[in-house]
Amino acid sequence: MQSAINASDIAGSIGAYQPSESAAQTGSMISVANLHKSFGVHQVLKGVSLTVQKGQMVAIVGRSGSGKSTLLRCMNALETIESGELNVCGHAVHDRSRVNLRELRKQVGIVFQSYNLFPHLTVERNITLALTTVKAMDRAAATRKALEVLEQVGLAQKKDAYPEQLSGGQQQRVAIARSLAMAPQVMLFDEVTSALDPELTGEVLKVMEQLARDGMTMVLVTHEMAFARKVADVLVFMHDGKIWESGPPNELFDAPKTKEFAQFIGSGL
Amino acid sequence: MVQFNWFHVGFLLQAAQWTVLLSLLAFVGGGVFGLAVALCRISRYPLLRWMTTAYIQLVQGTPLLVLLFLAYFGLSIMGFQLAPLAAAGISLTIYSAAFLGEIWRGCIQAVPRTQWEAAECLGLNRFEQLLRVILPQAVRIAVPPTVGFMVQIVKNTSLASVIGFVELSRAGNLVNNSTFQPFIVFTTVALFYFCLCYPLSVASRRLERRLNAVRN
């Protein structure tokens, strides 16, 4: 344990990139401090600290097993945390006994690699389900909202289709729309294009880029290096359960500070 | 010697009504308690899971015949004299609930865990997740094994004859005792059972097709 904390301190000093105005808590949507998480004896997160400002897009990259997906799932309280602090949209997620999960989930949307649409419901019902049950909207308002977000992802004409009738890219865009309909303050994307071919990946990334331009606060775990470099405000490279490097993507890509990141982008690009 | 005649067919038909009634008792009682058992088996509370697991193991390891004896003769020795219908209803319910509960637990767990997760992430609470997302998908999976079990139950009601029920099988036995025409008597009985079970299978196929056709 002791050694892990020391290591994380070192990692923190290498890569704890913070935008200049970050000292003020007001602008930060997510703040993670010295987060630890294990599955059994396997330590997945070994002291992660990170701040996400309002309107930022933070892209987390790294090898499989580096803990990036786990970090993302922690932010939505899908995983429990061992130690450290995690504040998301004003919710103290680390305090499991006190955090209001329903409120947290209203404010934090997540999109998964495998879409996870509800196969027994039409595209429209997939979107309106949570609006009518969780947000207590009436059916007409929920339907209007569904159409609005479907238009945003360019799929209004598919509102009556069932998920299995759509391509992977379309399903993923519906999943984004479903999450978007809840009007979240932060959206999390967990390798959302990893199951798609390049063409379908493109259509999903376009939607995400537009979201970023509209000012949505986004954290994504991704393998799309070119996309991360082009669109993200902050790039985070995770390695061995720690944040190894972080900063503006161009700086990191042009001049990797660690040999692990250099190796990672060397093999990845 | 009396020949097998229409009077006997009428007698069998009357007895078949008991078979239907016993089956319905088993479906309804077993359905209601079976759902409760299934939900307890996937509960977050270990005590509920443990208790229902014990119940299922116990009942699945006991012949229905023994349950019937226990409910009718066993309870009467302890001072609870149950009518045959009550005793049969209770034992069939206990028996069906254990099997249906386990079948339905499997169907609920066959729905991918990520569906729970996706619903949870949209803010649905556990009950809403189950009701709006998981159960509708589980029902589709549950139709064939449930109907398969229902057909078994229709046939198993014949065991209720041991506590004095003159249902279809017992009635066939009585008719045979007076006519000594076992082949024709029991063929008729078998035909009656078939007429009860076959519509179930047909309805099941229809239902399956309808549930799947929704999407095409």
Asked if the C-beta of A165 comes within 8 angstroms of chain B's C-beta atoms, the answer is: yes
Inter-CA distances, B32 with B37, B115, B140, B204, Å: 9, 25, 18, 19
Q: What is the mean pLDDT of chain B?
A: 92
CB pair distance less than 8 Å for B133 and A78: no
Q: What is the pLDDT of residue A58?
A: 96
Stretch A245-255: mean pLDDT, rounded? Answer: 92
CA A94 remoteness from chain centre = 18
Q: What is the pLDDT of residue B214?
A: 55
pLDDT tens digits, residue range A150-192? 999 999 999 999 999 999 999 999 999 999 999 999 999 999 9
Q: What is the pLDDT of residue A184?
A: 95
Interface test with B, best of A120, A179, A182 (most B CBs within 10 A): A120
Contacts of A117 in chain B (CB under 8 A): 118
Q: What is the nearest CA distance from B46 to chain A, expressed in angstroms?
A: 19
CB pair distance less than 8 Å for A76 and B133: no
Q: Are A127 and A109 in contact (CB under 8 A)?
A: no
Q: What is the nearest CA distance from B216 to chain A, expressed in angstroms?
A: 9
- Which DSSP string do the residues of A189-253 spell out, in sequence order? EESTTTTS-HHHHHHHHHHHHHHHHTT-EEEEE-S-HHHHHHH-SEEEEEETTEEEEEE-HHHHH
Q: What is the nearest CA distance from A176 to chain B, expressed in angstroms?
A: 12
Stretch A94-111: mean pLDDT, rounded? Answer: 92
Confidence category of residue A22, pLDDT binned at 50, 70, 90: very low
- Tell me which CATH code domain B6-213 carries: 1.10.3720.10
pLDDT tens digits, residue range A221-236? 999 999 999 999 999 9
Confidence category of residue B211, pLDDT binned at 50, 70, 90: confident
Q: Are A247 and A234 in contact (CB under 8 A)?
A: yes
Confidence category of residue A13, pLDDT binned at 50, 70, 90: very low
Contacts of B123 in chain A (CB under 8 A): 101-102, 105-106, 130, 134-135, 182
- Whether A18 has a pLDDT exceeding 80, the answer reads no
CB pair distance less than 8 Å for B132 and A105: no
Confidence category of residue A112, pLDDT binned at 50, 70, 90: very high
Q: What percent of chain A has pLDDT over 70?
A: 89
Interface test with B, best of A104, A118, A132, A162 (most B CBs within 10 A): A118
pLDDT tens digits, residue range A197-212? 988 999 999 999 999 9
Q: What is the nearest CA distance from B9 to chain A, expressed in angstroms?
A: 47
Confidence category of residue B87, pLDDT binned at 50, 70, 90: very high
Fold of A2-116+184-268: Rossmann fold (3.40.50)
CB pair distance less than 8 Å for B117 and A178: no
Q: What is the mean pLDDT of chain A?
A: 88
CB pair distance less than 8 Å for B122 and A178: yes
Domain ranges of chain A: 2-116+184-268
CB pair distance less than 8 Å for B118 and A116: yes
Q: What is the pLDDT of residue A24?
A: 40
Q: Are B163 and B85 in contact (CB under 8 A)?
A: no
Of B117, B122, B133, the CB nearest to A134: B122
Q: pTM here? A: 0.85
Q: Label residue B6 exposed, middle or buried (CB < 10 Å: 0-12, 13-18, 19+).
A: exposed
Contacts of A105 in chain B (CB under 8 A): 120-123
Interface of A with B in 47-76 (CB under 8 A): 76
CB pair distance less than 8 Å for A102 and B123: yes
Interface test with B, best of A116, A131, A162, A186 (most B CBs within 10 A): A116
CB pair distance less than 8 Å for A120 and B128: no
Q: What is the pLDDT of residue A128?
A: 97
Rounded Cα–Cα distance for residues A57 and A212 (Å): 7
CB pair distance less than 8 Å for B137 and A119: yes
Rounded Cα–Cα distance for residues B130 and A212 (Å): 34
